[in-house]
Amino acid sequence: MNDPTADYFHSLAEHGRYPLLRATSGTIRFDLGGNGHAEHWRVTIDRGHIDVSRGAEHADCVVHVAKTLFDGMVTGRVNTMAAVLRGQIDVEGELHLIVMLQRLFPGRPPLPEPATRRHPK
């Protein structure tokens, strides 16, 4: 079964260095809830270099969000900041870290092309 969240975090770690984050350092822990359990992912940013691990250790920024919503964020179906403003995401600590990491989320997927309409002759 495909897991967009795991795929996203694994791709972050594989890429390793992101020039877009070269002025950013800190740790972000994602507490993803749902189905009676929680997943914990920890992202460490060190001047653009990203390391990803699993665990609930202390972090500079902690993000509490439903796993299904986070899946939507990492696939581009959900805008992160809009979800924060709607109260769907709870962020503790250094908010600027999630704002910076959001830059690495994919953009909104393209809309399907509208079906062509047949006009009567």
pLDDT in tens, 2-25: 899 999 999 988 987 888 899 999
Give the tens place of pLDDT for each residue, 70-109: 999 999 899 888 888 899 999 999 988 988 888 887 765 5
Q: State how many domains the chain has.
A: 1
pLDDT of residue 30: 95
**Any domain includes 69:** yes
**Any domain includes 120:** no
**Any domain includes 71:** yes
**Any domain includes 51:** yes
pLDDT of residue 121: 57
Please say if the pLDDT value at position 110 is more than 70.
no
Helix (H) or strand (E) holding 101: helix 95-102
pLDDT of residue 95: 87
**Any domain includes 93:** yes
pLDDT of residue 34: 83
pLDDT of residue 25: 95
Amino acid, res. 20: L
Q: Which CATH number do you get for residue 18? A: 3.30.1050.10
Domain hosting 51: range is 4-102
Question: Which residues are within 8 A (CB) of 112 and not within 5 positions of it... i.e. 6 or more apart?
Answer: none
Is 81:102 a contact under the CB 8 Å cutoff?
yes
* pTM (predicted TM-score): 0.82
**Any domain includes 61:** yes
Q: Which residues of 57-90 are buried (b: 16+ CB within 10 A; e: fewer)?
A: eebbbbbebebebbbbbbbeebbbeebbeeeebe
Q: Which residues of 25-43 are buried (b: 16+ CB within 10 A; e: fewer)?
A: ebbbbbbbeeeeeebebbb
**Any domain includes 17:** yes
Give the tens place of pLDDT for each residue, 35-79: 788 999 999 999 999 999 999 999 999 999 999 999 999 998 998
